[in-house]
Structure 1
């Protein structure tokens, strides 16, 4: 078996970013969150069990198909049902692959590098039971603890999203805390996470494959974080729009000057129109237009530079 050339290795490492960028160009910057909450399952008339979660997910996939750039599965909503829940997640991930939809599993894994190396076997490698295009990660064992797992993802043409500035208000004190040691001493925790993630995207033409999670509701924290998202070249996954309170003006505040690399997640607003596929599809198309326009406005507003 021949050793891959440097060009082939670079192509593998850029594969997810390229595929996601093409999908966003085709369908817009919307990611549909597939979160089978108990209340939603009840409202839809489904059982609150693994079968109900699977039926819910399949309907949401039909609404997403041809209307959204990606879908994001909330892993704990399936894990709650144990082995049957994992089986349901495997099947809906398979269905999404058959439809050609880019999949993100929101599992927020993190830990020591020796521990989380097994995650690649679950999500990234050929034949993985939960094969996905990308997963979400927590960097609070140290952002570098994720390096080996990120390398495994990139070597298999996959991607990751690392939590940096999340929507939960309790995260403010931690994520904007000033680092006392290390390479980013004097900078915020969020800044160090973003800068470490960006290193994996250096040398990649177009959008990289290592992304960030930046909540759409954190506009008032941006100055405190010291981050300039216009300089980040990987994808940015942004929850919080719609049901959680973020509006178009918030997208303009948080993502001013970005490079068309923001993927906005919407879940419950769309799901509230189910289980009718036609109504779900119409809600998806409506919110997709809103998100596209808001991000176009944000991108058109440049960030002042210090001359």
Structure 2
């Protein structure tokens, strides 16, 4: 049976609900503020409460898997329940796993998350590519088959990544620019009729002032943009730094700013409503 590609599903939901991506990051300080224990039960309750508070107003949620893995199989069981709840609202689940490897190992990582036969089926995952972009080919193939999305770290907002990502190759492209070109090649022939994006998206930090060269090479990618809110960037920054074309394909990601409005559901909704409208404006 044909599957609907991730880019099409996201575009439909983003148009109806907003392109805002809500990160679910149950860090110790967040759970403490919510008066929840830092445990598998605490991360489970946090995730379920966040989704319950926002209901069907959100197109996509991004649980940070590390905070669930921290508690072993109990934490992963909690994550599975949160993911099921996300998808029950009609929203998309993007597992922030940033896996990176080669061969059968990376294929196994992909099979753990992508496709309805996966251990914990989600709609998209994040990946690292600095084992070589060619290592991603099996994951891209699986994502296409499953109608899933991939978001590959291209330009991160952390200062420690700048030296590697901006290093120049013999052809004078930076490492990040070369990776962006490879992602565009992966998307060839797989473009959504709704937004022109393929299955392979990119992670580009919203706090960056020098991402134009990379974004210009990612014209067929959805852009996952962390760094809004607690890390200092705003939705207006995304529009000015990314430019109109890239901003229209961006999933602006907010985590702590929304989570720290809780645990009061009304406060969470109030904060999120404002951010939803600001995210809509990126498409104007």
Structure 1 residues 47 and 168 mapped into 2: Cα distance closer, same or farther (>3 Å)?
Answer: same
Deviation at 1:103, TM superposition (A): 0.5
1:142-181 equivalence runs, <5 A: 142-180=132-170
Alignment check: 8 A CA contact 2:183 2:218 kept: no
Deviation at 1:111, TM superposition (A): 0.8
Deviation at 1:59, TM superposition (A): 1.2
Alignment check: 8 A CA contact 1:230 1:258 kept: no
Deviation at 1:127, TM superposition (A): 3.1
Partner of residue 240, structure 1: 227
TM-score (norm 1): 0.86
Q: What is the distance in 2 between the residues matched to 1:248 and 1:157?
A: 29
1:264-279 equivalence runs, <5 A: 264-279=252-267
Deviation at 1:273, TM superposition (A): 1.1
Deviation at 1:69, TM superposition (A): 1.8
Deviation at 1:189, TM superposition (A): 0.8
Deviation at 1:234, TM superposition (A): 2.0
Q: What is the distance in 2 between the residues matched to 1:276 and 1:127?
A: 36
Residue 242 of structure 1: SS of its match in structure 2? coil
Partner of residue 271, structure 2: 283
Q: What is the distance in 1 between the residues matched to 2:236 and 2:85?
A: 35
Partner of residue 173, structure 2: 187
Deviation at 1:230, TM superposition (A): 7.4
Moved over 6 A (4+): none
Q: Which runs of 5+ in 2 are unaligned?
A: none
Partner of residue 250, structure 1: 237
Deviation at 1:244, TM superposition (A): 0.4
Aligned residue pairs, count: 279
Partner of residue 263, structure 1: 251
Q: Which runs of 5+ in 1 are unaligned?
A: 298-307
TM-score (norm 2): 0.93
Q: What is the distance in 2 between the residues matched to 1:231 and 1:36?
A: 31
Q: What is the distance in 1 between the residues matched to 2:229 and 2:161?
A: 20
